[in-house]
Structure 1
Amino acid sequence: MRDTSTRSARKFWVPALLWFGLLSLIAVAIGAAFGAIVGLLFYSLSLASLLFLQMRSLYQIEQWLDAPVGRPRPKTWGMWAHAFAALDDIRHEDERSRAEMAEWLARFRQAMSLLPDGVVIVDGVMHLEWCNPAAQTHLGLDLKRDEGRLLTNLIRSPDFVDYMLSGRFEQPLPFMHHDRKILVQLISFESRRQILVTHDVTQNEKMDTMRRDFIANASHELRTPLTVINGFLEHALSSDMSEETRLRQLHLMAEQGQRMQRLVADMLTLTRLESLLQPPSGDTVRIKPLLTRIVEEARALSGGKHFITLREVQDVDLKGNRDELESAFVNLLSNAVRYTPDGGRIDVSWAMENDGATLTVIDDGIGIAAEHLSRLTERFYRVDKTRSRATQGTGLGLAIVKHVLLRHRGRLEISSEYGNGSRFKVIFQRAQLALRQD
């Protein structure tokens, strides 16, 4: 470092001393030849010329530095040429650094924009500087509109404001914002900047609620038949009873046992469907004979109390898992039988449509009110709990249908009006059809 400074000083002082020495010698020679006044005048004019040249070079530096990078540097001489060359190198190096910084910042923002969690950068007094799209969605922010505004003025939740003003950010804060449950935590990363990280836990909360409801509902559904069975067993052990009473109670216990068996089987089926990660096998499932057999089973379940008709069955097959599709179709028809009064009509059809193939089950049963339609595929959701238990339903049938269709790229459309029957329509995409070469 000292050697560099010494060399720079030599580059400046040696030429300067040479110029001053040369001018002094010339001035002395002129003074000796033409008089001291002429020599002094020459020396003064020479110094003024040198000063003008230096000022001109300073002006060129100022103009050149204000010009865009890449403009050729002025042609100068002596020490100024070295100075312009050094400044030119510094400008190019600075430009490269700026370009690298801009590229790094662009990559950083692009990476932050792809994160599922929100990232908000604020200054030391909580003014918004930047946020990614996830944070805009979570907190309802708009970067173009809200940049520079106070974050606690943009998000008026009392819990959020108290958290931001508390100065204690060791634990994240959960709070409700626009029907979302958001988890936020403030992290300091610079003396004058902080990062607010947001995470949307709304779906997790829903899943936890569904899990708790499932356990509670499953426990309740199993408790009821167990209570009946245990009550009859205690009564049988503690007292004498006639043969007729004993047979009636055994029959009721058998019914409750079968109900528990169906419930456990449906729970196991639903759990298996949810745990399967791989797509269903691509085997060809012959729909026409499958529906023919399922309709016969539905007639047996009805016991002749309903008019069940297989109206239209086009010879179109599906790719998928036969057992899963059979389970879904059986649940749709058994639901129609259970919720259609005696003497009612149930029509089943399987046909090609523009967007694929559809299975339609139409009944003229009791119908479903509009407020229940969106929740029918939830586990254990019942429109009429008393009627559901009387018809021996487990409350999991449509949930099984939904998961089977998800695995087979299908969807379920339900239309109904209370008192005017229901229409269940299963739609499979064209890509799910098994084409046959005749």
Structure 2
Amino acid sequence: MRYWTNELWRLGYLAGGFGLVGGLLGLLGWGLALGLALYLFVHLKHLKSLYTWLITNPHEEPPPGDGVWGDLLDRLYRYQKGQRQAQERLRSILNRIQESSEAMRDGLVMLDNHGDMEWWNSAAEQLIGLKASHDRGQHVTNYLRDPVFIDYFNRLAYREPLTLQSPLSDNLTLQISITLFGDNERLVMVRDVTRLYRLEEMRRDFVANVSHELRTPLTVLAGYLETYSDYADDLPPRWQRGLGQMQSQTDRMQHLVEDLLTLSRLETDELSGEGRRIDMAQLLTRIREDAEGLSKERHVITVAVEPGLALMGEEQELRSAISNLVFNAVRYTPEDCHITLRCQSTSEGVMVEVEDDGDGIDPVHLPRLTERFYRIDKGRSTATGGTGLGLAIVKHVLIRHQGRLEIDSLPGEGARFRCHFPAERRCATTAAWLSGAGQAAVGSGSATSGRHPPRPRE
């Protein structure tokens, strides 16, 4: 403000001085005009100096100036100097980021909002074969042409990483994770998981082979124990107790082997096609009947299905997954509790929900419930004959059907297990099919006559 005030005084002095001289000579107007012209000339001269400085050498010292022009030139120079320093800091940060990215063993690829590759580190060149000379600006699917990756990339659902073979070698297994940022831009991380993949294959093969080899001796043991049980009345009481315990543990081992083989098959076999059309009302009604046989009228079990709703998938696998959830609810909720099976359309596709009003689950256990052999209460699970593989089977069945499991529970507030299936798994409703569909709500009834329900899994 001081310079601006001085500039106004300077204008006043020039206009007043030249006006006074012009007035003495009888040319007041010409005197004022001459004073303003001189003031304008001085400003145009400073403006030319400013323009020349900005065009030719803005990084050098600004031209000399006085008054408000001198202050303006100094401010511009300080601003430019601050901007250059900020740019240098940003450039230094970017260089450090690039250097640290180059030191990573994981490949990084930055994509613009169209999916074109803008930058990548040397690890990405080694893992997927990118070349800076001619690949920059190419779409990422031009290099990773696997249909599985293209579908994963276009779905924009990157909750889970994708595992696939490297385009350079079938012996190289990559895990690809995509993160959205900015204006629909993406950061692709590529990780070499060949060693982990081979270890996982070895583990699956080991479990499958051991489980398969155990079936024969267990079958022999079960056969002899069944034969001996026919003569249990002739044995001493102590031997009878031992025989019963052997039968119980042999059955438990057989159930464990069956679950391990089922889980191994789900992990290794590919789902052939989309499967067949499954009437969800009929499927859930059959599952309810089996659950009532297990419950023996100790629980109230109901089914609520949206009329005409059907899914494409493997019926036996889906029945096994949903049965596991329902049987767990029967086994681990107190008597007289309500268990509800729901199936309805959602914005995502189809949701199958198993809800109970039992004791609930502490949220600390929820992230690990689908792990193999994980048990909240080991003693209680052993007493009920659980193998600890039921929810792991549920998880893998859903993965094979492009679904996901959501668990919501609090102590004392019951538990809700929701199976979400994508919209492409939902079958279109037709009037002919609706005429044979189940009712929207199927109430609970008595246990079915004598049919042995499928063995519940934990």
Q: TM-score scaled by structure 1?
A: 0.47
Q: Which has the higher helix share?
A: 1
Could you say which structure has the larger radius of gyration? 1
Q: Which has the higher contact order (CA 8 A, sep 6+)?
A: 2
